[in-house]
Amino acid sequence: MIPLTIPEISGNEWTYVKECLDTAWISSAGSYVSKFEEILSDFTDSTHAVACVNGTSGLHLALELSGVSSGDLVIMPNLTFVASANSVQYTGAEPILIDVCTDSWQFELDLLEEFLEHKTTLTDIGLEFKENGKLIKAIMPVHVLGNMTEMDRLIRIAAKYLMPVVEDASEALGSTYKGRHAGTFGSTGVFSFNGNKIISTGGGGMIVSNDEELARRAKHLSTQAKVSPEEYIHDEIGYNYRLVNVLAAIGVAQMEQLPGFLTKKREIDRFYREQLSGVGDITFQEVIPHVQPNCWLFTFRTKRMRELLRHLNAHGVQSRPFWRPMNQLPMYSHCHYVQKSDHSGMLYDQCISIPSSVGLTKEQMNTVVKTIKTFFQA
């Protein structure tokens, strides 16, 4: 089976993890945690980074620190991985779901603006959703598959309606818009390093921010809000969300290899686009000007997605459908969903992800392409 996307452990992972084990610095107080944070803030050109146990906990903290709490609303795309919506719900707030574009598969910005103009009012206490009087406290763009929307415009809209931006950049490590790194446009951005992301620590996440106070609070809350290193005194309800040293050691080794990973991912993307263009009814995710995506996971559209999925998995090419949109999940089906023709539902019915691991060989890539072509020629 050619796997969909698996971690690439070919650098200093063993050496750094062994050092943690040899010195017994395995928990969250070791030096690799802060080293990992430094490397990530350097790489993304943000002033602060705070390591978390995973991307979901990072999003939860970032939302809480942006002032989101019980009874509030958060705007987010309808087409995303469920963790985006769950992190909103953990704060006690509820998502407002916005449909995505059929070309880039990111936030549909016209729809977003129309919604804000007609369905919300800016009052003394904040941005009110007219339908129920609740306050919209933040907007969470998701950089779907490491691609991005027109960030200038998104930031302008958010500023006009006074919404803090929490970027779910879980999939977008290495992606840029006008040379600026994903995750650094909003007040906070969050990355994930779970098993299938572009770099992996097994499980892990990172909040980046240019706001010193916000970063300080993120670290404080992620370490049980402990006030003093010597005593068990805590000044608010914190979380046990800090990444441990062993995993951060893997993260440091992975970051050393990230430039190479990005080159390989972009090569895979180019190859598939060339080879699959004009095959059957296949269409690709569009990349708008100024975006340089990390090409994390190659995904394309076909009306025969379900049939193709069965064909590929039966022929040793591991493939997956896209996420079922949030409005189709039982927990979020009651949320307000802003749409005109449910593009998310259409994309869910048509999108398929194919093998994109950094370690993919040319021979494997050819096999993937051949298996797809055979399907459409039959």
Which residue, judged by CB position, is nearest to ligand PLP in the bound state?
55
Cβ burial 104-116 (10 Å sphere, 16+ → b, else e)? bbbbbbebbeebb
Would you count residue 353 as binding ligand PLP (CB under 6 A)? no
**Phi then psi dihedrals of residue 299, to 5 deg:** -140, 135
Cβ neighbourhood burial of 74 (10 Å; 0-12, 13-18, 19+): buried
- Positions 43 through 72 that interact with ligand PLP (CB under 6 A): 54-56
Among 25, 32, 81, 261, which residue sits at the site for ligand PLP (rule: CB under 6 A)?
A: 81
Considering only 142, 154, 199, 255, the residue that binds ligand PLP (CB under 6 A) is 142
What string of DSSP letters covers 85-140?
A: HHHHHHTT-EEEEE-B-TTT-SB-HHHHHHHHHHHEEEETTEEEETTT--BEEEE-
DSSP states of 260-318 as a string? HHHHHHHHHHHHHHHHHTTSTT-EE----TTEE----S-EEE-TTHHHHHHHHHHTTB-
Name which of 199 and 282 has its Cβ closer to ligand PLP: 199
Q: Based on CB atoms, which residue is closest to ligand PLP, 164 or 205? A: 205
Residue 32 found at the interface with ligand PLP (CB under 6 A): no
Quick one: which of 192, 254, 285, 302 contacts ligand PLP (CB under 6 A)?
A: 192
Question: Between residues 30 and 205, which has the closer beta carbon with respect to ligand PLP?
Answer: 205
Tell me: does residue 206 bind ligand PLP (CB under 6 A).
no
Q: Closest Cα to residue 351, out of 324, 328, 372?
A: 324
Residue closer to ligand PLP, measured from CB, 25 or 164:
164
**Of 12, 194, 275, 328, the one binding ligand PLP by CB under 6 A:** 194
* CB-CB contact of 158 with 139 (8 Å): yes
Q: How far is the CB of 307 from ligand PLP (least distance, A)?
A: 26
Whichever of 56 and 254 has its CB closer to ligand PLP, that residue is 56
Residues in the site for ligand PLP, rule: CB under 6 A? 54-56, 80-81, 83-84, 142, 168, 170-171, 192, 194, 205
